[in-house]
Amino acid sequence: MTPTVLVCQPILFQQPGAYLEILEAAGFAVRFPAAGGRVLTESELAAEIGDSYATIASTEPYTENVLKRALRLRVISRTGVGYDSIDIAAATTRGIAIACTPGVNHEAVAEHAFALLLAVAKRIVLGHATVAAGGFGRQPSYALRGKTLGLIGLGRTGRAVARRAAAFDMRCLAYDPFLNSTPNDSREVALVEFEKLLAGSDAISLHAAATDRTARLICRETIARMKPGVVLINTARGSLVDEAALCEALQAGKVAAAGLDVFEREPPLGSPLLSAPNLVLSPHVAGIDEQAIEDMAQMAAQTIVDLYQRRWPAERLVNAAQLPRPWNWS
């Protein structure tokens, strides 16, 4: 039986590319879901996964209910570095390898984070709407030069944002509980405690993973400890922000503006943020510019092939330490 890979990443829906060549050259059949072009729901994924041996995954939910129907599934190869939509324990129990694509899309996310910062600081969206409607009201924008940018998370993406901030003459503070010292490529960044970052930042950009510890990290209590008129940018995960609290802070002016690419629920139908002022939104696209999606797709496909051909790409496997060795593909 020819092993099948289900390509769930919507951006790749029925798209040619090197990732297809990698899979097909290794003997895989490639299939796209019927409801392609968007992120699959739990019920859609459960219905589609069938006898697939591997998936190239987006943020569709790999729940216990989905996994118990995936009798042949051996690999979930995620395009990106987040994997909070996957039940790690349930997958690992079934011997399913979970992979991601580290070091591929952080520059794309950094560009998008800074684009959101510039958009809200310079009132780009509001200015466009005003002129397009026949008006010409002129309001001063928010200066970035000389201001302090707080980075929550100083991994690859946080460091890439710091490099861009330096070009705008911004000072950078960073909080990262996993670091004891500033990395060599970020000597200009001051590593500080969380409270000092909140109190000392004119703008804050989130680059932390979604965990129990970071859930609703930005909430009424932490917003209260920020500078009045702070700007908030989130290109990490929606679960980091209490949307109701942020909406209140935007309406009160405590948070001057925000740029969000991610949400507690996606799409954010019914979110109080949709009626909040001084907000620029994008549909979880920070990490998928054309170069990044090509690179991620190729890496995700190569990981599947590596595992199929008995190579062990441990640096790309989320649950490598929990899987038995030798790992069984069949």
Nearest one of 259, 254, 182, 187 to 219, comparing CA atoms: 254
Q: Could you give the CA distance from residue 13 to residue 31 in angstroms, rounded to a whole number?
A: 9
Catalytic-role residue among 24, 266, 311, 315: 266
Crossing angle, helix 106-121 and helix 156-167, to 10 degrees?
A: 40
Phi, psi of 127 (to 5 degrees): -65, -40
DSSP code string of 126-191: HHHHHHHTT----------TT-EEEEE--SHHHHHHHHHHHHTT-EEEEE-TT-SS--GGGTTSEE
Q: Could you give the CA distance from residue 260 to residue 122 in angstroms, rounded to a whole number?
A: 16
Using the CB atoms, write b or e for 143-167: b if 16+ within 10 Å: ebeebbbbbbbbbbbbbbbbbbbee
Crossing angle, helix 106-121 and helix 290-308, to 10 degrees?
A: 150
Catalytic-residue membership of 266: yes
Cα dist from 120 to 168, 254, 303, whole Å: 15, 15, 38
Cα 210–Cα 144–Cα 172 angle in degrees, nearest 5: 50
Torsional sign, CA 32, 11, 292, 181: negative
CB atoms within 10 A of CB 128: 11
CA atoms within 13 A on the CB side of 181: 4
The two three-digit tokens of residue 305, written as one number: 């092939």
Catalytic-role residue among 106, 156, 207, 284: 284
Catalytic-role residue among 237, 243, 294, 316: 237
Helix (H, G, I), strand (E, B) or coil at 86: strand
Active site residues: 237, 266, 284
